[in-house]
């Protein structure tokens, strides 16, 4: 079985920027898998960066082994130290319309925890999923609005993966962030209590403009924030109190008034 430092699944915008960021951080053994015969973006020729087109990733297991197949690559299994999922979204047909959802087929095969609000994998502040060393970015994480910058997010993911490969980081206990109503997604969907302050990024529906955001902690109203009258991506920075972190029941809950 081949060994690779970093395997990126998907060669779209997210995959490209994750690969570039990881390469910039001295990661020199990157394999990128793309299922289509050609890529829409021109990829730079960099040492240690291999792009394999017409290679479909079939499964991913808990030991971070990726199985892929293609007419030119045959049927191979590769063992990766870190994996970035940038598979994008898939169309889901209903009776009248087609909506999009993150492609979580590989998450299913590796039994990665999924978020019920975005249908994508749950990630921490480093875009790392519940499986240690497996990262997700782009539409594979949640379906992005046009206002959302995939480039910045996937670059951060690439950097996080490179940092993980270099030093590895201790996985802290995390607590989940839940959303309801018109708030569609919060990044990160889990928060590490070791951080003193945390920046949360929200995506918001147009219908929720001009309303008030309530943040609940342990089912008690903790903070009330007026929501800026701008659609799309918003950021809220707040401090986490150290003493509250020791409570296991600590849980943030967001609601729009």
By the criterion CB under 8 A, which residues form the site for other proteins?
Answer: 35, 54, 56, 58, 67, 69-77, 90-93, 98, 101, 104-105
We find the least distance from the C-beta atom of residue 66 to other proteins, in angstroms, to be 13
We find the least distance from the C-beta atom of residue 87 to other proteins, in angstroms, to be 9
> Residue 70 and residue 20: Cα distance in Å, rounded?
24
Distances (CA, A) of 55 to 17, 209, 216: 19, 43, 45
Q: Which helix (H) or strand (E) holds 20?
A: helix 13-24
- Nearest to other proteins of 106, 252 (CB atom): 106
- Nearest to other proteins of 109, 211 (CB atom): 109
- Nearest to other proteins of 67, 176 (CB atom): 67
- Nearest to other proteins of 93, 249 (CB atom): 93
What count of Cα atoms within 13 Å lies in the side-chain half-sphere of residue 227?
A: 27
Coil, strand or helix: which one is 231? coil
We find the least distance from the C-beta atom of residue 75 to other proteins, in angstroms, to be 4
Distances (CA, A) of 89 to 12, 30, 141, 142: 11, 23, 9, 8
We find the least distance from the C-beta atom of residue 34 to other proteins, in angstroms, to be 12
- Nearest to other proteins of 3, 93 (CB atom): 93
- Nearest to other proteins of 110, 245 (CB atom): 110
Return the structure tokens found at 112.
Answer: 């990665």
Count Cβ atoms below 10 Å from residue 50 Cβ, excluding itself: 12
We find the least distance from the C-beta atom of residue 142 to other proteins, in angstroms, to be 16
We find the least distance from the C-beta atom of residue 29 to other proteins, in angstroms, to be 22
Query: In the sheet that 175-178 helps form, which strands lie side by side, from edge to edge?
Result: 190-191, 175-178, 252-256, 212-217, 220-226
């Amino acid at each position: 079985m081949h060994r690779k430092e970093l395997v990126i699944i998907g060669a779209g915008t997210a995959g490209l920027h994750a690969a570039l960021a990881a390469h910039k951080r001295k990661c020199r053994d990157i394999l990128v898998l793309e299922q289509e015969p050609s890529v829409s973006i021109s990829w730079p020729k960099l040492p240690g960066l291999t792009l394999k087109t017409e290679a479909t990733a079939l499964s991913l297991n808990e030991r971070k082994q990726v199985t892929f197949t293609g007419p030119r690559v045959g049927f191979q299994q590769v063992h990766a130290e870190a994996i970035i999922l940038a598979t994008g979204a898939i169309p889901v047909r209903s009776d009248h319309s087609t909506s999009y959802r993150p492609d979580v087929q590989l998450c299913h095969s590796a039994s990665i925890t999924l978020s019920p609000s975005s249908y994508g994998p749950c990630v921490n502040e480093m875009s790392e999923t519940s499986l240690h060393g497996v990262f997700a970015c782009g539409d594979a994480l949640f379906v992005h609005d046009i206002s959302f910058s995939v480039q910045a997010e996937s670059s951060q993911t690439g950097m996080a993966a490179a940092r993980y490969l270099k030093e590895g980081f201790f996985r802290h206990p995390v607590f989940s962030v839940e959303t309801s109503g018109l708030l569609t997604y919060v990044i990160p969907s889990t928060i590490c209590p070791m951080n003193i302050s945390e920046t949360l990024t929200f995506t918001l529906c147009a219908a929720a403009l001009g309303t008030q955001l309530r943040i609940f902690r342990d089912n008690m109203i903790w903070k009330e924030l007026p929501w800026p009258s701008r659609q799309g991506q918003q950021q809220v920075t707040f401090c986490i109190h150290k003493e509250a972190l020791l409570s296991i029941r600590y849980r943030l809950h967001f609601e729009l008034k």
